A and B are shown apart, each in its own frame.
Chain A
Amino acid sequence: MTDEILKTTPLNAAHRALGARMVGFGGYDMPVQYEGVLAEHRWTREHAGLFDVSHMGQCKITGEDATAQFERFVPGDYAILKAGRQKYSLLLNAEGGIMDDLMAGRPDHDGLYVVVNAGNKDADFAFLKANLSGDAKLTVLADRALIAIQGPEAAEVMAAHEPLLAEMGFMDCARLMLFGCDCFISRSGYTGEDGYEISVPADQAERVWTTILKDARVKPIGLGARDSLRLEAGLPLHGHDIDPSTSPVEGALTFALSKSRKERADFNGAARILKELADGPSRVRVGLSVKEGAPAREGAEIADMDGKVIGNVTSGGPSPTLGRNIAMGYVPPEFADLGTELKVIVRGRPAAAEVVAMPFVAQRYYRKPKA
């Protein structure tokens, strides 16, 4: 890591000015914390946190064939996705493994706007460019920053800047002028809270960031709290909880498999995925409540009550909201029922754990009342 030359986001100077502790993540020099992970975590759950997620990859896929070509590699029904809506999906390899997880939406009438993970973006974009055919064209939006605002006060904070934003529901998206610049915005995030992700031109990022931070309800939040927040929300982190060997069925992400697409079985890896849906996978991602001892972190073994190792923890740590240790990991389906008693082995010591439902902390997305 130390030899790696880290890239910077357009907000790098702003983070340093705020006294952030910087670390390498996904090839970028990123803020891991400002005042402290626990305080930032709690602030986001109680007020509004501002996150620089400009390291993530943004692109547009346009052309007459854009949707049909994109659908070859994702299991979601994008053909029926209306303008102003976005959908979570998975970029699949030919074996049905998850190359990345992503958000793709229609903020405007020009194809799909797609956001992918920082560590995978170069590979994702190269893969899609090489494989999209017809007139589908991928354009990397390298000159854009991405800022997320998350928390129960996020909507009020943003409505003060643009009242229209209050009208958006969870997973709505739009392209509009915000803060005097051309933005893509979606009501979504990675914390389990209500909030928005805002794509702004790179040269406007610091101004927008500083403007939003002027609101006393908003504090900057680093990647440390982003990780503990998403863990509580039960959201997988690619490269840890899901990876190119994991299928959507194993990853407990079957909600991302659209009914119409399963019927058509016309996406990458459909054969394996449909077989696992019918016959059950050999392992599945579960949530664990660790009832004693130290936090169980990535790599810790999961054992049954006889001490036989049956899987591994893929993410884990303390839940600041719950005040106990939580984890997610993979176990065979016969151990995946809620309430199943298991052991997690931390530094050679078995500790009691129990399979629990995810999210660990209830999600608080804003869903519009039906008209």
Chain B
Amino acid sequence: MHFSKDHEWVQFDGDIATVGITKFAADALGDVVFVETPDAGKTVSKGDSFAVVESVKAASDVYAPVSGEVIEGNAALASAPETVNADPEGEGWFAKIKVSDASTDGLMDRAAYDAFLATL
């Protein structure tokens, strides 16, 4: 698993990247009450806002950590947004994106991300 400075995670399986928000991000948001994930077919570019996650207090953009075409948004989050708090780096995934380039350039591994969190 790799991580962005915006607190998204990416898990590559060949050219399919599963993406979501990190436990740190989920904890910082607090109780997630609404998630808007992208529809299949949507093209996203690294750094674009591609999903929205809402706590009781506020709505936050989620930025794509990779570029590609969405093949699936996690529809289960519509009825169970709290999954993002319960299992942010597993069942709480946001989307699966077919990437043209499975490089991890600009992303951090777990150790680097933990070190980055320690600086915040």
Q: Which residues of A contact B (CB under 8 A)?
A: 21, 32-33, 36-39, 41, 224-225, 227-228, 294-295, 297, 317-318, 320, 347
Are A294 and B36 within 8 A (Cβ)? yes
- Across-interface contacts of A318 in B (CB, < 8 A): 33-34, 56
- Answer yes or no: B72 CB below 8 A from chain A CBs: no
Nearest CB in chain A: distance from B101 CB, A: 29
- Across-interface contacts of B57 in A (CB, < 8 A): 32, 37, 224, 227, 317
Are A347 and B56 within 8 A (Cβ)? no
Are A37 and B58 within 8 A (Cβ)? no
- Across-interface contacts of A32 in B (CB, < 8 A): 57
Q: Assuming the A-B contacts A294-B34, A294-B36, A318-B33, are A37 and B56 also in contact, with contact meaning beta carbons closer than 8 angstroms in the complex?
A: yes
At the interface, is chain B mostly helix, strand, loop or mixed? strand
- Across-interface contacts of B56 in A (CB, < 8 A): 37-38, 41, 224-225, 228, 317-318, 320
Nearest CB in chain A: distance from B90 CB, A: 20
- Answer yes or no: B69 CB below 8 A from chain A CBs: no
- Answer yes or no: B25 CB below 8 A from chain A CBs: no
User: Once the chains are docked, how many angstroms separate the CA of A295 from the CA of B55?
Assistant: 10
- Answer yes or no: B47 CB below 8 A from chain A CBs: no
- Answer yes or no: B76 CB below 8 A from chain A CBs: no
- Closest A-B pairs by Cβ, 8 of them: A37-B56, A38-B31, A318-B33, A294-B34, A36-B31, A224-B57, A37-B31, A228-B56
User: Once the chains are docked, how many angstroms separate the CA of A294 from the CA of B55?
Assistant: 11
Query: Which of B30, B31, B54 is the one whose CB lies under 8 Å from A295?
Result: B54
User: Once the chains are docked, how many angstroms separate the CA of A41 from the CA of B30?
Assistant: 13
